[in-house]
Amino acid sequence: MSARPAAVVVERACKHYGRANKQDYKPVLVNLDMTVEKGIIYGLLGPSGCGKTTLLSCIVGRRKLDSGNIWVLGGRPGEKGSGVPGPRVGYMPQDIALVGEFTVRDAISYFGRIYGMKSAKLKERFDFLSSLLELSPEGRLIKSLSGGQQRRVSLAAALVHEPELLILDEPTVGLDPVLRERIWEFLAELARGGTTVIITTHYIDETKQAHKIGLLRDGQLLAEDSPEELLRKFDCDTLEDAFLKLALRQHELPRRRATLTASPDVIPEGIPNGVDSRYVSREDFNVVTSSTDILTTKEKPKDCKGGRSKARYKAVFIKSIQQFSRHPGGLVFSILFPIIQIVAFFSAIGHDPRGLQLAVVNEETAFSPYGHDICRNSSLQPIVRIEEEDTCEQYMLSCWFLEEMEKKELYQIPYNTTDEAKQAVASGKLYGALYFRRNFSDALATRVREGEVVDDVIDDSSISVWVDVSNHQITNFIKSQLHKTYSSFTKRTMRACGRPEDLAQMPVRFQDPVYGKMDTQMVWFMAPGIMITIIFFLPAVVTSTLLIGDRLEGVWERSAVAGVKPKEMLNVHIALQAAVIVLQTAEMMALSFLGYGMPSEGSVVTCGLLLFLQGICGMCYGFLLSIYCSSYTMSFFVATGSFYPMILLCGILWPLEGMSTGLRIIALTLPFTIPSKSLRDIMEKGSSFTEPSVYYGFLVTLAWIVLTLGLCFLRLRFKKT
C-alpha cells in the first residue's frame, strides 16, 4: 500500500457563529479533522445545518477558522501564492450564484475568462459540458431557467477550467437519476485523471461511488472511510444503516470518545483525531500517511503570481456590461432618470401660479348708477385733473385697482357681502377676498392730500383682504401681487394727476443687484442643489443595489473563490460608474444650461468637476450601504432615511439662516450643503476654484469620499467571516 499525497487536510478545526455567551452563539466545527487524498472523490455527508457548507467555505478560503489548520493543494487557503482561492479550485456553491441576466453561455464564459481560457478552448469546453450536462440552449437567460437547469449551468461553470480540486456543494439536487448517474461517472473519470473531488449530497446512496465518505455531525467527523469499509465495519447492507448505527453510537458514548477514527468496534483512548494510515478500501485507493505529508510535499501552485489579473479584469468588465445592458430598468434609471428629473424640476418648480381668483366686494361700484359694470365703461375717468386749481378729482378709483390686479393674474369674482365672500374662501372655492368701502376714492384722496386724517378716513381708504393662508406659497404670491398692484395703481393715479409717479411708492428703493438679476427665479436658486442631489442619489442607489444583488446571489462569493479579488470587482465597478456619472453630469448640465437657460457665470468645467465628484461621493455612499446593509430592504430603509434629512437640511428647501445653530452645524457637515452653495456661487456669481466658497465644496465632497471609503475598509477589515 503506497501512501497518496493529500489534497486537503483539515486539522483540529474550530469555527463558530455568533457572539460568545450570547443566544446566537453556534459552534459549527469542533476540533474537526479531515483528510482528502489526491485523485479521490470524497463524499461529505451530514444532516442539514451540521456545517458542511461552512467547512467547504473554509477550505476554499472564504471563511477563516477560529483555530486549527487547513492545507489545500500544498498551501494554506487565502495565503499569498497558495493559488486558493483561484484557478486551482472549481467551486459550485449550494446557491446558484450566477448573474440572472447572464445567458447560459455567458455564465460559463465568465468563469472561463476569469481563469484566462482562450476562446477556442472555452468553446470546446462549453460544447462538451453542454452535452454532458444537457444544458439549456446557450442563449437562454439564467433567470428564466428552472432550478434544476440553473444547477446544471452552475456545475458546468465549476468544471469549465478543469481544476485540480473540485468542491461541489450538492450538485445533484433536483436532477433526474440518469443525469445524476452520468455526473457521478464523469466525476469518477476526473478522479482517475488525478482531479480531487469533494462533494456534499443528500442522496446517501450516491456516495457509494465515492472513494471516501466523511460523516459530519455535531461539528466533527463521526467516520471517515471508504463505503466498503464502513459497510464491513458496521456489518450493514446499506450506508443508511451504517450511518444510523454511527449516530446512535455517538449519542451513547461520551463526547470525548465519540469521534470514530478507526474501527467502530475499537475506539482507542487518547488517540489524536488526526488522520492516519488507516484508510484501506478500494484496490486503487491508497492513503496519506499523516497530515504533515501535505507540508512535506508542498508544491508550487500553478497560478500564484496574479498574472491573470488582466483576464479577471476583462471577465468582470464584460460581466458588468452584460448585467447592466440586460437590465432595462437599470439603463433607464441611469441614463434617462437624470433627464426626467431635470425636466420635471424645471417644468414644475418656480413658475408663478396662474388663474387665481379672488372674491371682490366693491361697495364703491355697487352704489354707482351703473353698478359693477361701471368699471367696464370705456368713458370712465377715475382721475380728472383740474389744471386751474392744480388739483384732481377722483371717482371709482377701485376700478383702476382691480384693472391693475387683473394684469397681475389675480382675477375678481364679484360678491355682494363680505360674509358671502369669506364663505367662498372658507369653502376653498377662492383663494382670498377683497373689500372696498363705499367712499374708497374720496377717502384715499383725502388721505393723500391731507396726510393727517381721522381713523374713519384711514379705514375707508384701506382695502381689506382676507386670504386662505393654508397654502403658504399661494398666500405669499397673492401678497406679493397685491403689493405690485398697489405700486402700479399709485403710479397710474399720480401720473394721471400730474404728480411724480413715485410719490406714493414705498420709500424703500432696491438698486441693481450685486449678483444676478432683479427678477431672479426660485429655480435658479434651487437648481444647483437639485443637480447635486440627483447626481449623488443615482450612483448611490445603483451601487448599493448591484453590490447587494451580487452578494446575496452569491456571485461575489463565487467570483472570489474563482480568484477575483475584491479590489478588481470594485475597480471595474468604479470605472463603469465613473463613466455613467460623466454621462449623467453632461446630460444634466446640457439640459440645464442650454435647454432651460440656467445662468452660468463661472467655469463650466469647475461645475462639471464638482458634480462628477459628488457622483463619486454618492457611489462611495452606495458602497457603504452595500457593506453595512444585509438586504435590499435594509439598504432601502437606510437610503431613504438618510437622503431625506440630507435634502431637507441642505438649504435648498429652506435657508440655513432659519435653523438653530446646532442644526446648522450638522447641516453644514452633510455632503450636499456646502457643495450646493459652491455650485450656486460658480453659476450665479462666477466664483472661481480659488475662492473659499468654491473649494470648501470640493473639500467637503472629498472628505465624504474618504470617510465613506474608510468606513467600508474598516468593516471589510474587521468583519468576522
The site for ligand ATP (CB under 6 A) is made up of 17, 26, 28, 46, 48-54, 94
Query: In the complex with ligand ATP, which residue's Cβ is closer, 50 or 683?
Result: 50
Phi (first) and psi of residue 605, to 5 degrees: -65, -45
Q: Pick the closer one to ligand ATP by CB: 46 or 338.
A: 46
Contacts with 400 (C-beta within 8 Å, 6 or more apart), sequence order: 382, 489, 492, 493
Please tell me the distance from the alpha carbon of residue 598 to that of residue 522, in angstroms, as a whole number: 11
- Using the minimum distance from each CB to ligand ATP, give the nearer residue, 220 or 322: 220
Q: For ligand ATP, give the closer residue by CB, 14 or 504.
A: 14
User: Which CB atom, from 53 or from 708, has the smaller least distance to ligand ATP?
Assistant: 53
> Residue with C-alpha cell 459549527?
28
Minimal distance, residue 67 CB to ligand ATP, in Å: 17
Shortest Cβ 48–ligand ATP spacing (Å):
3
Report which DSSP code applies to 382: S
Alpha-carbon dihedral angle through residues 244, 245, 251, 254, given to the nearest 10 degrees: -150
Minimum CB separation of residue 79 from ligand ATP in Å reads: 23
Measured CA to CA in angstroms, residue 270 lies from 261, 276, 449 at distances of: 12, 14, 119
Which of 26, 140 has the CB closer to ligand ATP? 26
Q: What angle do CA 439, 443, 447 make, to 5 degrees?
A: 170
Query: Please, what is the minimum distance in Å from the beta carbon of residue 713 to ligand ATP?
Result: 21
The Cα–Cα gap between 189 and 128 comes to 14
Between residues 94 and 571, which has the closer beta carbon with respect to ligand ATP?
94
Q: Indicate the helix (H) or strand (E) that contains 217.
A: strand 212-217
Tell me, what DSSP letter sits at residue 36?
A: E
Pairing mode, if any, of strands 356-362 and 432-436?
Answer: parallel
Nearer to ligand ATP, 53 or 543 (CB): 53
Q: How far is the CB of 148 from ligand ATP (least distance, A)?
A: 17
State the Cα–Cα distance between residues 349 and 354, nearest whole angstrom: 13
Residues 6+ positions from 478 with CB-CB distance below 8 Å: 356, 358, 410, 431, 432, 467
Comparison of 287 and 555: residue with beta carbon closer to ligand ATP: 555
Q: Which is nearer to ligand ATP, 51 or 622 (CB)?
A: 51
Alpha-carbon span 200 to 169, nearest angstrom: 5
| Angle between helices 239-252 and 227-234 in degrees, nearest 10 | 60
Shortest Å distance, C-beta 46 to ligand ATP: 6
Rounded to the nearest whole angstrom, what is the least distance from the CB of residue 49 to ligand ATP in the complex? 4
- Tell me the CA end-to-end span of the chain in Å, nearest whole number: 40
Q: How far is the CB of 44 from ligand ATP (least distance, A)?
A: 9
Shortest Å distance, C-beta 210 to ligand ATP: 17
Minimum CB separation of residue 180 from ligand ATP in Å reads 17
Spatial separation of the C-alpha atoms in residues 362 and 405, rounded to whole Å:
14
